[in-house]
Amino acid sequence: MPFPPFKTLFAAAMLFALAEAVTMSEASADQNPAPEGLVVVASRHPFDETVKKLEASLTARTQTIFAKIDHRQNAVGVGLDLRPTTLIIFGNPKGGTPLMQASQSIGIELPMKFLVAQDASGAVSISYNDPQWLGRRHGLPDATAGALKAIAQFLAENAKAAAE
């Protein structure tokens, strides 16, 4: 018999495909594209330095940091493991109030947030919600387009200041 039976070839091909799929998913677990409406900026700095630089950038630009939530520390507190992940909640009523006047539901998104996270390979990123996406989500009127653009630029500048 010069060729193996079809069932043997099919089974071997399926096992190979399954092994390849598992390898690919493990390799790309932290490389998935960002969810819709989320902006992700890679940082050149270690996790703690990125957090400090981000806080310094925000306070230098008259933003109030309302809270800093260390998700990793909270996970450890209940016996779970988590890579470094910190949420910084910040804002200024001058920026958010006009948006809430236009559509109160956007208040669920405010104050603004930055998420600093370290993936399995040690790479650090800064993530934030895209203001234009939030505007569409909450049906903000066209009159808020300028404010959303300014907020988007502000967020990008702060993320860049911390990441570079």
Q: Identify the pLDDT of residue 8.
A: 46
Cβ-contact 162, 54 below 8 angstroms:
yes
Ranges assigned E (strand) in 44-96: 64-70, 85-91
| Domain edges within the chain | 37-163
How is residue 6 written in tokens? 């079809």
Is 46 strand, coil or helix?
Answer: coil
pLDDT (0 to 100) of residue 22: 37
pTM for the structure as a whole:
0.79
For residue range 65-104, what is the model confidence (pLDDT) as tens digits?
999 999 999 999 999 999 999 999 999 999 899 999 999 9
Hey, what CATH class is 37-163 in? Answer: alpha beta
